[in-house]
Structure 1
């Protein structure tokens, strides 16, 4: 039995240990300190990184913008110088008239080219024919300068030298109608001009014209191949962002953009070159090179954060252990206490803080509980052995007073219960004899009641039989009445149809009478016509004799028709009067049948009420019969129960005596006058607890004295 009790305790300890290992206050404190240090470090690192990144990015953009603006102005100045040179050449008297061509002109042009630093100088007449015999009227620079504009072209393939060149052109003496003069420049002239752009290790500059074609580039092949980023982006996705950027450049915009170009992340600043035909200069560099200082700062900061976190973790362990270890040991002791262990040693920590107070309070609590359990055990052991005279006399405080009151109350209640129990047993013994005699009298009376109920049950059954026959008879009569009502309704419908037919016959007779009058009128008119015919025949003499005979026959026939129409009219009048009498009779018959139908319905309703009342009467009689049957059964049961009660009361008297003998061993306070036993001595004062919460900065603890 003891092993069975110990095993759940051990299992509970293991489960509690697992919970403690997961939710240890030491671990929580260490994690909290480490988490706080981590959050502060990460917050500091993040803010610092953002500030460093913004400064590095701003510095990068500022450098690019400054380079872009500086080289844009440099290229602008170079272009202005070139334009000034070509305009000076166009006004030089040595070029003479551009309409002709001679050796002296070629020498002059060669000399001018050397003086002004051009590869060559050529004059062109108004038809687009140059001094070296080339047709350039389709060239844009020819069209621009003919209109009086000094123009610099993008790199183009020379028709004369078949090499990539750039053209500077101007109208002769500022008047395009006299022809133009243009100078050839090497296509790498502007590339050399921006070649010294240095921005990081890979930074370089480039120039595009208004169509997006490269005019100058670090890689001269791009210029020679007339690379156009806008067109290249249509077929190569790796330069799509560069194509969009060049579109902004050709639109004359100034900005700084970050783009992906053939797998490299570049930062590009660009600005339009003033006084050009849509040219724009860009400065490009790898973002990683420009942000190299930022990346180095990030690495240093990450190393600093890692070192700081390691120091924070070590500090968390060193700070948490002295605080938490005593608490953990006292928690282990509380776990043993929760399992009922009152004898294991309580860990002691002498200090002036809350941990010392907690240790003293725990020790005092265990000692107090041990004494209280001993008192309760002594009283309960006495109760187990039948001694209900022991009580707790020691002084308890706080909530333990309820325990003392409850145990002493239990002892008092047991004395009261067992005392009353003894009195009740004596009363039961005397009452059992009275029940036995009363049960015998009840048995004889219930037997007589059972016979009377049987006779009453037979009479009720006979009444129920007659009521059921009455219900059947009333139901049959009700059906006949309903059928009679239905037949009367049908007869009423037939009479109404007959009445309607008589009305229609009367209407038809009236119409025939009208027709007869029409026939009489026709006969009258025919008679008059016959008379007129006879008069006319008499006037005609012999010639009208035959016609007179016919007229006489017609008159006779008209008289017969008149007589027949009169007889018919008389018959129709008599028939109309008969029909009217038939209508009156059928109308009265309808009223009589309606009255009979209403009376038949009322009679049917009355018979239905009689049938329902009879059915309810039958149900009531059946319920009475059932009740009497149940009463008879109950009476018979009562008779048997009374006899059984008589026997049981005798058995009850015997059991009461046995119960009296059974509890005779229990010792009550009323049995003997005994001294009350004091179960425990007061506990000497163990610790001192601060009187106020301010001394410990914790919640107020109970004041422990020499008595619990």
Structure 2
């Protein structure tokens, strides 16, 4: 058929048939078939037989070339290249057709080949014209672009999947930017992108946990700062009271110091007075000793007088006895002795009076001696008392001296305490100022913590189920 076609072309043109062109088309590796002006197949090369599985003898000379590519009869691109139905090009090859240079057409299309399976063919239809410009034949070549098209479709699907993934992740990221930490990617991604979804959910879960912990800690910080502010206020108030109390203490210590100074001076005066008292007591003790000696001398003299009185009594007794004897003798003498008897009587009476007076003197001496003994005892006791007074005065003198020394030492100690109290008062005033500054700082901290809490509360940390997420396993 092809030979007859080319032979007719030879007769019309007056040239020899191009057997080389025929052989080239027949053996060309690109599947090729040729239609004549009537739409009949005049050439179906070996590559076309291999592609479609239809032998050339079954299709050459017929218009059933469509069976090699479609299940139902429809025009091929070579049929449309004759230009009889140009609208069919757009209808049958809407998205895959394009005009080449001149009348040539190029299209891409999925075809159901008899060999089985769908193939994506790259089709070119090139009209052959005579000298008058009339189309006398069309050569259609086909290339199997199934693998490339499948790759392109896979790439398109991948791009679409990527676009969908980017869109979904973008929406989730916008949700995160708006503070919605409950946004998770729930729709599974393609297997190659599933780790991305899991890692995103893992990151969001941990971010949600972190923000939840921060919110909780911020609440605790706010409470702690509030307590700290209250404690700082109380500390400031107590420090102020302590400063006032210390000022009063300093004033009291000043008064105590002045009192101790006066006490020290009084103790010194008392010590001097006690020294004078001890001197006077020692003099009194010496006088008492002299008095005791004098009283003893009086007692001795009374004893001597008593002895003299005893002699006088003895003399009065002897005189009375002699007067009695003289009276007896005068009585014997009668009238001659009457005058002597009177004298003897007078002497006797005088002796009796002397004896009586001697007894009185003796009684007085005994009384005087008794009183002297009592006086001696009293003077002895007075001496002992004075000695005890001297000893006690010595003890008191030591105590007063110790008291004076201790008072001086206490005065120095109080002065040191007063100085320390003044320093402590200054430190307390500084502490009060620092406590007030700490109170202001704590107030600022409370305000900042509350602002932070307000900022954190813009985040939605609840999951779709309403509970705080506990995290998911990180994708490998």
TM-score range, shorter chain: 0.3 to 0.5
TM-score after normalising by structure 2: 0.32
Which structure would you say has the larger Rg?
2
Name the structure, 1 or 2, with higher relative contact order (CA <8 Å, separation 6+). 2
State TM-score, norm by structure 1: 0.22
